[in-house]
Structures are given as structure tokens and as C-alpha cells.
Structure 1
Amino acid sequence: MKQIFTIVVSFLLYAIAFGQAQQRKQQLEEQKNAKLKNIAEINKILEEATSKKQRSLGELNAINAQIQQREQIRGAIRREISFIEKDISDTEKIIEGLEKDLSDLKKEYARMIYQASKMSNRYNQLTFVLSAKSFNEFYRRIQFVRQYAVARRKQLEQILKTKEYLETQNQIVRKQREEKTSTLTSLQEEDRELLNLQKQQSELVKELAKREAELRQQYLAEKKELQELEKQTLALIRAEIKKTGGGETKEIVLTNPEDIKLANSFAQNQGNLPWPVDNGFISLRFGKQKHPVIANFYIDNAGVKIQAKQGTKIRAVFEGKVEAVRERMGPGYSIMINHGDFFTIYEPVDNVMVKENERINTKQILGTIMPNFEGTPELLFCIYKNDKKLDPEKWLYKK
């Protein structure tokens, strides 16, 4: 009975582990496919960037984004290898336990056969039964002969079942080892891809460093534009705060039920907002970021910059009212949308398709993306809660 219990428990544990492994494998596969889709998208942007005569920060951003995606894929593969190794270890423990159970079952069966051999014919069995000293003992001996025969058959059946299950486990562990080999091959391929990208990255950084003076001028111009945008944005938001009577609290006082509902709905969608462009990647994150080429230069980014293909349409991430459409210091326009006490900003925008005070819907087209100073199509996207800057990457859905 002990062996039967061990086998049943082993089977249940394996069934649970197998289900978890399959679910985990599916999740990792979905993550990998999502990353590969992102890489394909970035590749198209990279091809557009490399088609230009002069190499650019946009090209470097695309390579950096690919490196990041490849590193994430490699991390997922490493986790999968770790999980497979644990699965192999768990299966080998099951096999070890089954082999011990099988050995014990065989020993027990051998003892039963030996005992049975002592009364191997009907005469011996009859003698054994008739030699009873009382009727009760006579009855018990008849029951014993019958039950012993049944027990032998069950023991043999259990040996055969254990052998069958043991072979199944051996097949599983062989498959797991094949899967590990295949996954290790995938990891080696990712390592080669990553090494190639890092080589391209290093060569491009060296080439761009030769144009440091030009990049410094570009950096200063962009810094001036960002400061002007933030100044205008805060002026508009603080005017709205003052208009609603929230001057002391420095917060917009919402009284209209529709505005309250809109603000609450926006807040509830943190992490689920659609991207303001349908293709692209984050080329510059929120906050203080190190310049990719110039040493000791930092960019204090009010939002996130999203690099995309030329002519990509810009869309609103949530419904609301167009608070302002303003000309920028450089080419194009800046669009600010009011979502109650939240605000989203998009710039630079070309071919503007909305006007001030217009009510708009989620994903409504605002215009098209414009190239920056070096000719790379790049959108600055910002989110404010009252006059406080928020990290947009925490609000957009994860690609």
C-alpha cells in the first residue's frame, strides 16, 4: 500500500507541475513573441534612419532599443532554462522514487512467490486447510488461500503499472533535456544577435562623437524648446487652477459631474492607455537622462520621446477637450488636451486636425509626427496631474 500511495502522490505532483510548466512556457513564449514584434517594428524605423546620408542619434536610439529588447528576450530564455532544469530535477526525483518502489514491489512479490511455492499444488493447499484445529481456523485458512492469490495478482498488476509509469517519466525527462538543448541554442543565437548590435552601437557612438560640436548645439536648442514648452504648459494649468478656485491647494477644483467622471476614468486607466502613435519605441525616458554620446550631458525630459516612422499619425490617448494648440519655437505645433485634472501634451505636431475647445475621443487623430533637428521623426508626449509631471511610461500599456 505504501508503494501505491507514493505512486499516486507522485502522479498528482507531476500533473500539477506539468500544468504549471505548460502555463509558464506559454507565458514566456507570448512575451518572446511580443518582443520579436517590437524588434520588427524598430527594424522598420532603423531602416528609415539608416537610409539617410548622415548617421544620426535616431539611428543610435533604434539600435539601443533593439539591444534592450534582445536583452529582455535573453533574460526570458535564461529564466526558461532555469525552469526546465528544475523540471528535470523534479522528474528525476520522481523516477528515483519510482525505481525504489519498483524494487520494493519486486522483492515483496518474490517473497509471495516463495511462500506460494510451499503449497504449489492443490494437495498441499488442501492439507494446509484440513490441518486446522477448529472450524474458525479452518475458515480463516480458506480465506487466506483466496486472499493470498488475489494479493499476488494485485502485486503483479502494481509492478506492471509502476514499470509503465516509470517509462512515461523517462520519456518526459528525455523530452525535457531535448527542450533544454533547443532553448540553449536559442540563447546562443540571441547572444550572437546582441553581440552584433553592440558592435554596431559602439561604431556609431564613435562616429557620432566626431560631430560633438554639432550635437552640443542640437542639445542646447532642444533644451531651450523643452524649457519653453514646460513654461507654457504650467502657465495654462495654473490659470485653470486659479479659474476653478484651487489657488491655495494648487489643484483644479472639479464641480461638473462629467469632468469628475472623466478625471476618475483617466486615473483608472493607468497602465492601459493606448500609445499616441501606432508604431514606435521610447527613445528617451522620463526625467533626467544621460546623453547617449556627449559625456556629462544630461537631458531633463518632461515626458517620454517616442521615435516612429516619417508621417506617422498622432492620436489622443484618452477622450477630453483640446485645451490649446500652440505654435512651437521650432517647426510644428504643440497640442494640450484636458482630461479633468489630468493633461496630455503632444509635440511637435504637423498637419493639425483639431482646434481649441473641441471635444475629442480616445485615439482620435490629432495630426502627424514631425522630424526633430536632425531629421528623426520623434514625438514628445507628456502627462500632468494638475501641475505635477508624471512618467508617461507608467500610464501607457506595455508593448
Structure 2
Amino acid sequence: MHNKLTYIIVLLCFLLSIPIANSQSNKQKELEAKRQKYQNELKQINALLFSDKKKEKSLVSLVEDLNYKVNVRRNLIKITNDQANLLTREINANQNEISSLREQLKELKDNYAEMIVKSYKSKSEQSRVMFLLSSDNFKQAYKRLQYIKQYRNYQEEQGELIKAKTLKLQELNTDLLRQKKDKDKLVLENREVKKQLEIELKEQEALMVSIRKNLSTYASQAKKKQQEIDRIDREIERLIREAIAASNKKAGKTSSPTSKFVLTPEAKALARNFESNKGQLPWPVEKGVVKVKYGTQPSPIDRTVTINSQGVKIATEKGTKVRSVFDGEVSQILVIPNANPVVMIRHGNYITVYKNMSKIYVKKGDKVNTKQEIGEVFTNQSNGETMLGFGVYKDSKTQNPASWIYKM
């Protein structure tokens, strides 16, 4: 009875260890996916922001680019550290499990050997027959027969459990060797990334020393730049309010608030489709990195200056085509004095905004499809920067584009 209980406990421990291992494996996959993301982002940054050494970028642009690169590299280091730490925990858990399995296997083998010896001593058919014939009645003989069968089955179960434990031990040893290799590789890679980060931080500090010498001028430029952005955003918001009012008037809903669209059944269906693709929409450019994120953030030049970004700024290559991220209708082509054109596309009660265009391929009222080219991004000839401003609005309220675009 004691041996049977031991068998059940050991089997349960074996089965319960499987979900834990799977959970750890899933966490490793999640971390590896993030690590690959940051590695790819660094490649994109190098290709889009640091490849053209001949172009003379402004000091401010250099600091912004380097600041972005440093932040991504720090994220890469953190994720790699998390992976290495998780591997350390998995290695320790595997080593403990291997030790426990070895003890269990030894106990199982000792019990099995003891059973074999007992079986050998009483193996003759005559002994078994006499054991049955010496029963006081038929009921006792039946129970003895069942006992013999159960004992034989238990022997077979013990043999199978030993096989399973031995196989599990072999698998754990293989996993342990792989985990140690993976950890060594991660540690080595992280060491190289940290060296590169140190170089970039020194370069960043050298640039900031130059900026601090004339900080008031650069801070003034940053404020002026933000004022220009705010001016364009206010114009976009005004046009969206006008579009809502015009659309609602056309639908005969003049009393409706001008902050929300009154939708036709067709527009409702389009809005639902747009919403159902949240997080899966294609990028508005084929290649790009988000240099400025959505929301309020301090300027990398002067921390006292606040950047208020209604959308994102995507750095890309010269001559890059801009694509509509979803089916819709061009609601406005906005041309503002001292600024580059803006295209606004309506998707039900959602509007996507594409700023800093150089060429426009569409006109107001055109129906567009997902990934249809609508124009080209403007390239600043003085610093070589090609930057697309991209925003998402629900009615008159801004949304974070990173929540809508795939892996932004």
C-alpha cells in the first residue's frame, strides 16, 4: 500500500511539473520576441537616421536621433537581462528537478529490485497454486487471485514509471545544456551592446556640451517648433469640427453636437471594420521608425520644454510613398502657409491624418483602399530628414496611433 501511494505521488509531481515548464517557455518566447523587435528597430534606426554621413544634420537633430537610439539600446539591454535572469531561474529549477528525479529514480529502482527478488523467490506456479488452494473459501481464493494480478500490474507500472522518469531526466539534462548555452550567448551579446551604449552616451554628452553653451537659443528654437506644430494641429482640429458639422447637417441632424459624427449605416459599418482592425492596421510607410511618440513628453534638448504630440513622427527614407492605413474617403487636403500639405482620410467616425507631404496623389472626395499610395513624404534638404507626421482621431478626439498600427 505504501509503495502504491509513493507511485501516485511521484506520478502527480511529474504531471504537475509540465504546465510550469510550458509557462516558463512561453515567457521566454515573449521576451525573445521583444528582443528581436528592439534589434530590428536598431537596424532601422541605423539605416534611416545614421547611414548618410555626408549630410550635415543640425546639432538638435543629431541629439534627438542619438537620444532615440540610446533609449532603444537601453530597452534591448533590459530585455536581454530579463531573458538571462529567467534562464538562470529555469537552470536552477531544472538542476533541482534533476536532483529530485535522481532520488526518485533511485528509490523506484530499489523498490523494483526488491519486488523482483520477492517475485523470483515465489515464482513457481506450484507456490501460486498452493497459495490459492490454501484459501479457506472461494471468496478468499478470489481475493488472492486478484492480489496476484494487482501485484503483477503494479510491477509493470513501476517499470513504466522508471522508463518515464529516466526519459524525463535525459530531457532535463538536454534542456539544461541548451539553457546554459543560450544564457552564455545572451551575456556575450549584452556585453557588446553595453560597450556600444557607452560609446553613444559619450557622443551624446559631447553634443549636449555644445548645446549647453547656447542653450537659450536652442530652447527658443524648440519652443518655436512646438508653436508651429500646435498651429497645424489647431487647424486640423478646426477642420474636423467643420467636417462633423457639415456631415451632421447633410444627415439632417443640425441639433447634434459638433464633437461627434452622426453616422449613416454605411459609415457605421466602415467604423466597425476600422475598430475591428485595431492593432493590426498597416504602417502608413513601408519602412520607418517612430522618432516622436504620441502624448506629452520633455524635449531631449531642454527638459523644461514640453513636446505635445497629437500623433507620431515617423522617420523614413527619401522619396518614400505614403499609404492609407485603411479603406476610406479623402475628407480634406490641407494646405497651410509656411507648412507642408496634410491629407485627412475619413473612416466612418475615425479620421487618419498624414502630415508633412511633398506630393499628393489624391483629391478631396476620392475613395481610397488600404495601402493605397496617397502621396510622398517631404524631405528637408537642409538636414536630409524625411519625416511623416501621422495621427488618428475618433470624432474630434486624438488617439494613440501605436494602439492602432501593427507593432508600432
Q: Which TM-score applies when normalising by structure 1?
A: 0.81
1:222 and 1:247, CA in 2 relative to 1: closer, same or farther beyond 3 A? farther
Q: Is the 8 A contact 1:271 1:397 kept in 2?
A: yes
* Residues 3-38 of structure 1, C-alpha deviations (whole Å, 9 max, x = no match): 443443344345444444444444433332232222
Q: Is the 8 A contact 1:349 1:370 kept in 2?
A: yes
1:218 and 1:99, CA in 2 relative to 1: closer, same or farther beyond 3 A? same
CA distance in 2, matches of 1:106, 1:68: 56
Match of 2:202 among 196, 199, 222: 199
2:315 counterpart residue number = 307
1:262 and 1:314, CA in 2 relative to 1: closer, same or farther beyond 3 A? same
Which residue identity lines up with residue 289 of structure 2 in the other structure? F
Name whichever of 275-284 and 223-232 sits farther off.
223-232
2:357 counterpart residue number = 349
Deviation at 1:397, TM superposition (A): 1.8
Match of 2:389 among 371, 380, 392: 380
Q: What are the within-5 Å matches in structure 2 for residues 1-399 of structure 1?
A: 1-48=4-51, 50-105=53-108, 107-108=110-111, 135-136=134-135, 157=159, 161=163, 162=165, 165-210=168-213, 212=215, 214-243=217-246, 244=248, 245=253, 248-371=256-379, 375-399=384-408
CA distance in 2, matches of 1:196, 1:259: 53
CA distance in 2, matches of 1:82, 1:43: 29
In the comparison of the two structures, how many residue pairs are matched? 394
1:387 and 1:87, CA in 2 relative to 1: closer, same or farther beyond 3 A? same
Q: Is the 8 A contact 1:271 1:396 kept in 2?
A: yes
Percent of residue pairs identical:
24
Name whichever of 15-24 and 156-165 sits farther off.
156-165
Deviation at 1:102, TM superposition (A): 3.4
Deviation at 1:333, TM superposition (A): 1.3
For the aligned residue pairs, the C-alpha RMSD in angstroms reads: 3.8
1:158 and 1:224, CA in 2 relative to 1: closer, same or farther beyond 3 A? closer
Q: Is the 8 A contact 1:3 1:101 kept in 2?
A: no
Deviation at 1:149, TM superposition (A): 10
CA distance in 2, matches of 1:249, 1:275: 32
1:262 and 1:169, CA in 2 relative to 1: closer, same or farther beyond 3 A? closer
Q: Is the 8 A contact 2:331 2:364 kept in 1?
A: yes
Unpaired stretches in structure 1, ≥5 consecutive residues? none
Deviation at 1:293, TM superposition (A): 0.8
Which residue identity lines up with residue 404 of structure 2 in the other structure? W
* Residues 195-216 of structure 1, C-alpha deviations (whole Å, 9 max, x = no match): 3333332223333444545534
Q: Which TM-score applies when normalising by structure 2?
A: 0.79
Deviation at 1:350, TM superposition (A): 0.4
CA distance in 1, matches of 2:299, 2:150: 84
* Residues 292-332 of structure 1, C-alpha deviations (whole Å, 9 max, x = no match): 11241112222222222222222222222222223233253
Unpaired stretches in structure 2, ≥5 consecutive residues? none
Q: Is the 8 A contact 2:323 2:374 kept in 1?
A: yes
